[in-house]
């Protein structure tokens, strides 16, 4: 005999309620602010965000967003750079026990239309008052940070990594100070995988993220040093068929059934054996 389940006993699954962007059109150098809410589930650590290129063949950005206990979240993304190589409609996909997609437009440079109104006439400077142009810098450097002991680690190592990956000016400053070393060298990492990648793997195992999205995300994270594996010369890769064993490996690692090193070894094997092929 079939029994009906009272509605008060139905399980509520975590989902993305809604999200918005601060604009619909973006150019190089803009900040993209994404805000929204989820049906909060304390068992789900973060919302996975993917920004998919217009062709669908790559990612402009991938990241995690930690929602507050009331379900609200916000994140800022720097627009532009090598991963934003295409103009057109980009898909923002958020995964949190379900998926929600929205679109933004991206054009590399802004070209304001000629209004037909002439501006004020410019009067050349007098010879006795030569024009002087002060050199500009894309960042303001803190002289206190130009020391051998940087970083002081008064904050967590993740703080420095997030700033390096999320703030172009900070990255530019760091690279100017340590041209022969990576942020991971300075922080003492030989291998590094952010914890939120486990959530990305869990979403893939649950079918919330497709094979192509997961492998494209993996490619993006390796290229941009979000995942750092020593002694691995990595270039842009592609893959047609994901081996079933690798899906299992990712799922086991996301559930702490195997170690991070075992997961790393499986990635290295895919690349070294040309199961992931160089384009």
Predicted TM-score (pTM) of this structure: 0.58
Closest CA to 178 of 159, 190, 164: 164
Confidence of residue 147 (pLDDT cuts 50, 70, 90): very low
In Å, how far are 31, 84, 177, 266 from 28, measured between CA atoms? 9, 9, 25, 36
**pLDDT score, position 153:** 57
**pLDDT score, position 274:** 66
**Of 103-117, 133-147, 149-163, minimum mean pLDDT range:** 133-147
Confidence of residue 104 (pLDDT cuts 50, 70, 90): very high
pLDDT one-digit tens code per residue, 222-252: 877 777 776 666 665 565 667 778 888 888 8
- Regarding predicted confidence, which is higher, 165 or 95? 95
**pLDDT score, position 150:** 59
**pLDDT score, position 168:** 79
Burial class (CB in 10 A: 0-12, 13-18, 19+), 200: buried
> Which residue, chain included where needed, has tokens 């002439």?
118
pLDDT one-digit tens code per residue, 182-227: 777 777 766 677 778 888 888 888 888 888 888 888 888 887 777 7
Q: Tell me how crowded residue 52 is: count the other CB atoms within 10 A of its CB.
A: 23
Inter-residue contact 96 to 38 (CB < 8 Å):
yes
**Where exactly are the structural domains of the chain?**
13-106, 143-187, 196-278
Residues present in the chain in total = 279
- Regarding predicted confidence, which is higher, 271 or 109? 109
Domain boundaries 13-106, CATH class: mainly beta
DSSP string, 97-153: SSEEEEEEEE-SS--PPP-S---PPPPPPPTTS----PPP-SS---GGG-STT----
Q: Is the pLDDT of residue 4 over 50?
A: no
Inter-residue contact 92 to 102 (CB < 8 Å):
yes
**pLDDT score, position 76:** 92
User: What residues have CB less than 8 Å from 21, skipping those under 6 apart?
Assistant: 32, 33, 34, 92, 102, 104
What's the chain's average pLDDT? 75
User: What residues have CB less than 8 Å from 204, skipping those under 6 apart?
Assistant: 210, 211, 213, 214, 247, 250, 251
What is the rounded (10 degree) CA torsion for 169, 171, 175, 176?
10
pLDDT one-digit tens code per residue, 16-64: 889 999 999 999 999 999 999 999 988 787 888 989 889 887 788 888 8
pLDDT one-digit tens code per residue, 58-100: 788 888 888 999 999 999 998 988 889 899 999 999 988 888 9
């Amino acid at each position: 005999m079939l029994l009906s389940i009272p509605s008060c006993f139905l399980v509520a699954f975590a989902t993305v309620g809604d999200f918005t962007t601060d604009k619909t059109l973006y150019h190089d150098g803009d900040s993209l602010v994404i805000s929204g809410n989820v049906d909060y589930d304390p068992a789900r650590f973060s919302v996975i965000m993917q920004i998919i290129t217009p062709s669908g063949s790559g990612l402009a950005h991938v990241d995690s967003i930690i929602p507050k206990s009331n379900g609200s979240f916000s994140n800022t993304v720097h627009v532009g750079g090598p991963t934003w190589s295409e103009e057109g409609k980009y898909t923002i996909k958020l995964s949190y026990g379900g998926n929600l997609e929205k679109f933004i437009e991206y054009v590399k440079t802004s070209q304001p239309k000629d209004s037909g109104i002439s501006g004020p006439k410019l009067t050349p400077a007098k010879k006795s008052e030569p024009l002087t142009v002060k050199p500009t810098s894309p960042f303001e450097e803190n002289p206190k940070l130009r020391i051998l002991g940087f970083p002081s680690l008064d904050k967590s190592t993740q703080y420095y990594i997030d700033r390096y990956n999320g703030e172009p000016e900070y990255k530019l400053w760091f690279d100017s100070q340590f041209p022969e070393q990576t942020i991971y060298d300075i922080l003492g990492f030989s291998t590094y995988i952010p914890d939120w990648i486990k959530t990305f793997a869990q979403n893939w195992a649950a079918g919330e993220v497709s094979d192509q999205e997961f492998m494209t995300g993996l490619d993006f994270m390796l290229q941009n040093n979000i995942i750092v594996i020593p002694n691995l010369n990595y270039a842009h890769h592609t893959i047609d068929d994901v081996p079933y064993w690798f899906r299992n490996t990712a799922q086991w690692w996301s559930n702490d059934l195997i170690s991070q090193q075992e997961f790393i070894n499986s990635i290295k094997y895919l690349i070294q054996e040309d199961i992931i092929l160089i384009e």
